[in-house]
Amino acid sequence: MATQDDLKRIAAEKAVEFVPENEYIGIGTGSTVNFFIEALGKSGKKIKGAVATSQATADLMAKYEIPQVALNDVMGLAAYFDGADEVNHSLQMIKGGGGAHLREKIVASMADTFVCIADESKYVSRLGKFPLPVEVIPMARSMVSRHLLAMGGEPELRLNFVTESGNQIVDVHGMYFPQPLTSEDEINKIAGVVENGLFARNAADILVLGTADGAKVIKPQ
Ligand code: 5RP
């Protein structure tokens, strides 16, 4: 029986077909993306450069000799490739399980096309079973947590974790998001919130899903 990692790899290898040659792209963070970086490196496809969303991604790109570029040095990205913790049928997502969603959202917002890569366990009809990561300025974590509690969630500080931008993460349990766009904006309006892990404004355009029957390419419904 195929493992979750097998399905991630199947999706990641298929996603390489969507890499536009001779263009700048962005690359997310996480175990699924790691399979993608490996597959891209081995594919022989030539890109102008890729923006990495974390040090781990940058290090793996270096290993596979994928050229890197800083976000400040490009005017736009042809495509962005990233995993997700949950993705719904409109291809809106919860991300940030790895704590990289701030940089991921910035880079994704620069891209013409967002290609989400995931195994089939991530494809859900409603977002929220996976706790929503909220990146907060450390001095505001208690105040932000009280706001999230008042909104109906159960906030939990991610212990022993500091983001690459020097902030902390509060994971919000028990909240479902029938209107992800509204929730994304409402949570970001709380003073002290840097960015939350709902990707509704930056929903994916294409989902490459690894399933037991092979890779499936899914468009928003
Ligand atoms: C990191 C992310 C990842 O894309 C998400 O956590 C999925 O990770 P994985 O591919 O390891 O399952 O948002 O901030």
Give me the residue spans of the domains in the chain: 4-125+201-218, 132-197
Atom of ligand 1 minimally distant from the CA of 34: 10
Q: Give the residue whose CA is nearest to atom 7 of ligand 1.
A: 84
Given CATH 3.90.180.10, say whether it is the number of domain 4-125+201-218: no
pLDDT digits (tens, 9 = 90+) for 80-119: 999 999 999 999 999 999 999 999 999 999 999 999 999 9
- CATH value of 132-197 in 3.40.50.450, 3.30.70.260, 3.30.70.1350, 3.50.50.60: 3.30.70.260
pLDDT digits (tens, 9 = 90+) for 112-152: 999 999 999 999 999 999 999 999 999 999 999 999 999 99
210: Cβ below 6 Å to ligand 1? no
Is 135 marked active-site? Answer: no
3-class DSSP string for the chain: CCCHHHHHHHHHHHHHHHCCCCCEEEECCCHHHHHHHHHHHHHCCCCCEEEECCHHHHHHHHHCCCCECCHHHCCCEEEEEECCCEECCCCCEECCCCCCHHHHHHHHHCEEEEEEEEEHHHECCCECCCCEEEEECHHHHHHHHHHHHHCCCEEEECCCCCCCCCCEEEEEECCCECCHHHHHHHHHCCCCEEEECEECCCCCCEEEEEECCEEEEECCC
pLDDT at res. 64: 98
Atom of ligand 1 minimally distant from the CA of 82: 4
Q: How far is the CA of 118 from the centre of ligand 1 (A)?
A: 9
pLDDT at res. 33: 98
